[in-house]
Amino acid sequence: MEEAIYSSPVGLLNISGSDAGIRSILYGDFVKENDMVPDCLVECIQQLDEYFNGRRKVFNLLLDAEGTDFQLRIWKLLQDIPFGKTLSYLELARISGDIKAVRAVGHANGQNKLNIVVPCHRVIGSNQKLVGYGGGLWRKEWLLKHEASFDMPGLFQQEC
């Protein structure tokens, strides 16, 4: 597994992956030792740059997520939430096929290790409040405001 540290507007991200795909994008206090990026992570960093610069609304990366079948299914549904839009945990449970699975959906959402690319930040409480983000609610708020500022039809071409 290769790693790179990416400096983003919401802090340092540790990106890990291989030729099989991106395994994780995690927030944290990392030491950025050098600027060398392994070949298998270059595209991820380029797409993150485009996202943060408002030129990318959809990520097109090979992902190598590890999780249960249920988690993988929920993470796939997260990728279907449009840029600049939000969905409640209840709505996500309903879409998953089991409205009673709200807590399980929330737990799966919290286990997502592909922050930003698998947009768990787009899931909010039924009362429209920002709840439950492993990177901190300030990051969730920043990401949602960032997307809202670029969610103007026709202004940017969707790159994938």
Select which of 40, 44, 120, 160 is catalytic.
Answer: 120
Nearest 5°: phi and psi at 86?
-130, 165
- The answer to whether residue 160 is catalytic is no
Spatial separation of the C-alpha atoms in residues 77 and 56, rounded to whole Å: 19
What residues act catalytically? 120
